[in-house]
Chains A and B, each alone.
Chain A
Amino acid sequence: MKEYQTITEISGPLVFAEVDEPVGYDEIVEIETEDGRTLRGQVLESSEGLVSIQVFEGTGGIDRNASVRFLGETMKMPVTEDLLGRVMDGSGNPIDGGPEIVPDERRDIVGAAINPYSREYPEEFIQTGVSSIDGMNTLVRGQKLPIFSGSGLPHNDLALQIARQATVPEEDEGDDDDDEGSEFAVIFGAMGITQEEANEFMADFERTGALERSVVFMNLADDPAVERTVTPRLALTTAEYLAFDKGYHVLVILTDITNYCEALREIGAAREEVPGRRGYPGYMYTDLAQLYERAGRIQGREGSVTQIPILTMPSDDITHPIPDLTGYITEGQIIVDRSLNSQGIEPPINVLPSLSRLMDDGIGEGLTRGDHADVSDQLYAAYAEGEDLRDLVNIVGREALTDRDNKFLDFADRFENEFVQQGYDTNRSIGDTLDIGWDLLSTLPKEELNRIDEDLIAEYYREDAAEAVQAD
């Protein structure tokens, strides 16, 4: 391995060095400073005689005399089942005081794309116990379903609730004797979150005993920004290994994607690239896709990778490039809403702009319940109508509305207060969720339920609820 002391330029997170032997693109670099620290970086551009290196830990302390070593390989990480229960920093070094990690294998962290032909279409319902997700935006194994949130909203509580409660119902009944818990793993990749948030997550993992089936990668707010580009890749490489080699059903929680994108922008700016929208690099779509697309199922393999990335929308703007590009790649989105939050709804999920693209194939007879699709459609339509009417009420008052309209208004209120509202510790089965749905729908006249099959109305519609409302 050749060592150089040929650094010519240091700028932001980038270091430029002269070389006399060719260096591969993406290769890993070690830089040793005069005070004996070793920093790691990656080749961003390699040309005859000159390379540009992005340093993960930041360039502080590097001077022209620092020595540069090229390791001759792209970035790899150790993978083993023993990673479960461990806590690492954002570069994959253990910070929990535990033993050294003895790898089974070293894997490239960039990861290859799954051949679309080898994928298996995800259609296995995951019950999160949250009505507004299970009933309205169902999550399935192998899906990538982000939570779009904003600063100061309880997205972490929601993510934790999902991580705690997520199960696949049939399996619970089927093999109770099996050590069902060992099959399920949570990987938590934190990018630029505060120590306090990190503590909140860790405390919850410890309280519920989830830590032993978790792998945690922590890049905190005061850790180097460039390291954030590596953290999610470590998390996903671990996830793929556990899922496709070891048969685990892995849930990956990545937070906060917004910090990740800021790091990308920082690197782009330092490289003087032509910026895209709002200064983010033009390749951000491709870059994000390389993270999000690492969710899924593979034919003939036991496990699955399900992703729940969390992002905070700058000034709650869903058209901002980060949520926008994310929405185009992921299979839906769960939207945490500020006004519902201030109404005290827990979790404050606004179902109208939320969506799960894989829902249709994951629900129905044999999967959840035969009436699921129709009920959720009808709840959507009715809630949307009630929501529209609220604007009108503000202008003309309730008295000016027809009887029909008033029913929809009441419906919308009850939907928020009974269906969406449930608290972070309530775990509702899908049956309960749908029954609440029917309770609410039964307050509307039967003829208005045009999204529901007539047979299902006959089976589930509660005449008494309708009459109770009429009697009011």
Chain B
Amino acid sequence: MSQAQTESVDEDGVIESVSGPVVTAADLDARMNDVVYVGEEGLMGEVIEIEGNLTTIQVYEETSGVGPGEPVENTGEPLSVDLGPGLLDTIYDGVQRPLDELETKMNSAFLDRGVDAPGIDLERTWEFTPTVEAGDAVEPGDVIGEVPETESITHKVMVPPDSDGGEIESIESGTFTVDETVATLDSGEEISMHQEWPVRSARPAAEKRTPTVPLVSGQRVQDGLFPIAKGGTAAIPGPFGSGKTVTQHQLAKWSDADIVVYVGCGERGNEMTEVIEDFPELEDPKTGKPLMSRTCLIANTSNMPVAARESCIYTGITIAEYFRDMGYDVALMADSTSRWAEAMREISSRLEEMPGEEGYPAYLSAALSEFYERAGLFENVNGTEGSVSVIGAVSPPGGDFSEPVTQNTLRIVKTFWALDADLAERRHFPSINWNESYSLYRQQLDPWFRDNVAEDYPEVRQWGVDVLDEEDELQEIVQLVGKDALPEDQQLTLEVARYLREAWLQQNAFHDVDTFCPPEKTYRMLQAIKTFNDEAFNALDAGVPVEEIQEVNAAPRLNRMGTAEEWDEFIDDLEGDLESQIRELY
């Protein structure tokens, strides 16, 4: 959390009442969304309602023991995040307090109250190299220098958006802390590497564009059937145990974004620990550097204060936008947006607001769309192009997609990966239901897939979709009369569909090779199944009984494609064998 402005303490108020995370104070001179410090211990809170002389505050920490009469101190600033080098390879709570720093300061493994820490290390020094010279004119957002922030990411130091710009008077390379001046403008304005930005407003951009490049996830069902664009939005709803978190983790690990911001919003503590332990050891498939060096984690677990859960989504997207401004492709995973919505509901009910659907506040839909609208492919104010892709997990109660959070999310996002409890039960992972899911980006991404993967990619994919659709219809008949009662060609279709499901759509996130599948492999695997399909139908036309085709011993090897290390050769051999073995039958 930003606290560089602590010198400007305004008016003090007095606590009037306390009820859980909601505190009201009298005589406090504050604006909406100002950050305040509550009580003797100085618990951080935010102004959320002003009525006459009474100000309502949501407090980001436990309020046990806090009582009326204690002071409230206003900082006069909205909830802001610290931006600058040092954001990556860090783990924050919902209001950008670094959790490792908190552990040291509190000297305990448990989270205490009333301890604050700046979002970026103010002591640490960085190697700054200017990219402009004295005399150059700069405007807000322009890059003036670079800092190697982590092994894989170069941090670009920008003129703050609220600056007036002007001509550079002096700029030097060297070693600086984030608060030291690296450049001076002719207006006398001093620029440091440290910026602040209020989390509830979007950072400015020049223009929002239509995305045409996919965010390649290395996951077959996503890249193959339901791709998301860089700058796109996606929702992953699913009941518990259907694999939302594993799906999010897979995207955080393997997607080809430059920067990943992972927001654990109201989820399990152990899951965040898993990320903290795993990511430093995993390699970015693109750069070979540790994944952690491109990652910023925000962890507000379910037992941490509910108000900070409400803010962690905003903290995350603001950090994402900051890296977007540098021209990077950023992917933000929010797990789970339902917890965020529930936090809003909880606060809203403590305020005794009139509830909307299922007790959620009436502004739920507005809050969700405002958040997702901050995603996109942007032309930045400094002329570079950057993107923020947002992938939000949704946890619908009872797995019922008709509930308000899922429905309001679906109205906004363009990719929908529906997780299915039935698939999860039979350990078909990722349990993304291919009949219910959709991607509205397919069309605009097809040219990229044609150019970069295979000319006939969309056609082959469509073939796969058609077979799966047909299977879905046939299954209904099979349920009534059994498989053997079907005509032979339909039996064969079922067989092909089974390979599509088991060999292609299923992917083992815990297998060293299978966990990441480049788009070329996704395509080749699908093509191999199509080879089987084409050869098999030719054989059937030539009068070969379907049982004989099914017993071709190369066919089950289709199931091994995903885990094959030398997949290119493996698939070459397999296609050859399928062809020759099936042709031998007639």
Contacts and interface: CB of A to CB of B under 8 A. Distances in A.
Interface of A: 21-27, 44-48, 73-74, 108, 110-122, 142-143, 244, 273-277, 282-283, 285-286, 289-290, 292-294, 296, 298-299, 301, 318-321, 324-325, 327-329, 331-333, 352-353, 355, 357-358, 360-361, 373, 377, 380-381, 384-385, 391-392, 395-396, 400-402, 405, 447, 450-451, 453-454
B104 to A, nearest CB: 10
Interface string B250-272: 00000000000000101011101
Given A25-B18, A115-B111, A392-B482, A381 B359 contact: no
Given A277-B358, A286-B346, A301 B67 contact: no
Nearest to A140: B270
Contacts of B109: 114-115, 118-119, 244, 298-299, 301
Nearest to A289: B302
Contacts of B397: 277, 319, 321, 324-325
Contacts of A333: 241
A370 B579 CA distance: 35
A66 to B, nearest CB: 22
Q: What 7 A-B pairs come out closest when comparing CB atoms?
A: A319-B398, A47-B17, A289-B302, A384-B426, A293-B303, A118-B109, A26-B64
B483 interface: yes
B306 A283 contact: yes
Contact of A116 (B91, B106, B346, B480): B91
B110 A296 contact: no
Q: Which of A24, A275, A298, A405 is the most central at the interface, judged by chain B CB atoms within 10 Å of its CB? A: A24
Contacts of B112: 112
10 contacts: A25-B66, A115-B109, A121-B273, A275-B359, A283-B349, A298-B109, A301-B109, A319-B400, A396-B482, A450-B502
Interface stretch (B75-83, B95-103, B176-184, B371-379): B95-103
B299 interface: yes
A282 B359 contact: yes
Contacts of B398: 318-320, 324
A25 B63 contact: yes
Contacts of B424: 355
Contact of B16 (A48, A116, A298): A48
Interface string B426-467: 111000000000000000000000000000000000000000
Nearest to A401: B482
A402 B484 contact: yes
B20 interface: yes
A400 B482 contact: yes
A349 to B, nearest CB: 14
B304 interface: yes
B6 to A, nearest CB: 24
B431 to A, nearest CB: 12
Contacts of A276: 345, 349, 358-359
B399 interface: yes
B301 A293 contact: yes
Nearest to A453: B563
Contact of B111 (A23, A113, A142): A113
A282 B346 contact: yes
Contacts of B358: 276-277
Contact of B70 (A22, A122, A395, A450): A22
Interface string B532-574: 0000000000000000000001001001100100000000000
A313 to B, nearest CB: 11
A114 B110 contact: yes
Interface in B415-431: 421, 424-428
B479 interface: yes
Nearest to A283: B346
Contact of A114 (B15, B18, B111): B111
A121 B484 contact: no
A358 B273 CA distance: 12
A361 B273 CA distance: 13
